[in-house]
């Protein structure tokens, strides 16, 4: 199960194998997540720092994937093992928690989910909140030693030129168009990328849309899809939506637009996806 409702989660709080991960994080204020955790979190939750626990110190883009062995070691330190039921939550409709889900899932963990609607939905459903930090004995975690559903810039370029892959951009429409760019050096999008903002996966209550509505958003792209965003975080929300919709899992471009734009690659602006061609390079 990739998605768990707060109502079901309430009934499972006492399960000894449950490991709840608070991954709240804000792009313009990364330290806010820790402050929010200390102010109140789900009982039993451990804090997972996006910038230190889910990201490599360096690599392509702003949030490169870490070494899988180092990642598994860190997750085991937090008390996660092969038999844990892992649930990740944020306060952004799952846009950050989905990265946590994607990473564990891609490396072979059998039981990891995102809390639908995150912290806000939990509180709205009457879920308890605590300021008591939790800790667990180290777990025994056996994961794959390599990422599987990924594509880098070198692999992406020829597929864009051949038009045999659809690149989905999960960023907000204004960033896709190039109207604004708060953090990367050049505004716009990868030529050929299609705008599918992760926010469109959510209903007014901040929870994921029903599977049929999500399927309608993504099924026209076919079975050869890669998801991207600014730095490979929010892109995982589109991957989660495709999973819930029952569609084939996409590839993840971890470096995403931050890798593309910082590598002096051609950039498109406006609502039109544009096309990537050899003469653009």
Per-residue pLDDT tens over the stretch 156-174? 999 999 999 999 999 999 9
Q: Write down all domains in the chain, each with its CATH number in brackets.
A: 3-124 (3.40.250.10), 153-280 (3.40.250.10)
Which residues touch 236 (CB under 8 Å, ≥6 apart)?
98, 99, 101, 102, 227, 252
Give the pLDDT confidence score for residue 1 in this predicted structure. 77
Catalytic residue among 42, 75, 229, 247: 229
d(CA 117, CA 89): 8
Q: Report the predicted TM-score, pTM, of the whole model to 2 decimal places.
A: 0.96
d(CA 94, CA 39): 20
Q: Phi then psi for 150, rounded to 5 degrees?
A: -130, 155
d(CA 262, CA 270): 19
280 by DSSP, 3-state: which? helix
d(CA 76, CA 92): 26
Hey, how many other C-beta atoms are within 10 angstroms of the C-beta on 2?
Answer: 17
C-beta of residue 242 within 8 angstroms of C-beta of residue 225: yes
Per-residue pLDDT tens over the stretch 46-80? 999 999 999 999 999 999 999 999 999 999 999 99
Active-site annotation holds for 21 = no
């Amino acid at each position: 199960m990739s998605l768990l409702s707060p109502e079901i989660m309430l009934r499972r709080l006492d399960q000894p194998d449950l490991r709840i991960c608070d991954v709240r994080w804000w792009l313009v204020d990364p330290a806010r997540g820790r402050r929010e955790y200390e102010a109140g979190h789900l009982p039993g939750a451990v804090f997972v720092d996006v910038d230190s626990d889910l990201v490599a110190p360096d690599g392509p883009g702003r949030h490169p994937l870490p070494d899988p062995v180092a990642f598994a070691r860190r997750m085991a330190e937090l008390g996660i093992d092969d038999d844990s039921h892992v649930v990740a939550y944020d306060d952004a409709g799952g846009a950050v928690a989905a990265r946590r889900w994607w990473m564990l899932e891609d490396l072979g963990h059998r039981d990891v989910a995102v809390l639908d609607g995150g912290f806000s939905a939990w509180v709205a459903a009457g879920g308890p909140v605590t300021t008591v930090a939790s800790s667990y004995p180290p777990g025994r975690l056996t994961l794959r030693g390599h990422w599987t559903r990924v594509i880098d810039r070198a692999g992406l370029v020829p597929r864009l030129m051949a038009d045999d892959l659809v690149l989905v951009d999960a960023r907000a429409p204004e960033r896709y168009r190039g109207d604004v760019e708060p953090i990367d050096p050049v505004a716009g999008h990868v030529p050929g990328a299609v705008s599918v903002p992760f926010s469109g996966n959510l209903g007014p209550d901040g929870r994921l849309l029903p599977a049929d509505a999500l399927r309608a958003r993504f099924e026209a792209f076919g079975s050869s899809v890669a998801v991207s965003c600014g730095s490979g975080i929010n892109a995982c929300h589109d991957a989660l939506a495709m999973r819930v919709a029952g569609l084939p899992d996409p590839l993840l471009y971890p470096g995403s637009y931050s890798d593309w734009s910082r590598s002096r690659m051609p950039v498109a602006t406006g609502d039109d996806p544009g096309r990537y061609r050899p003469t653009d390079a």
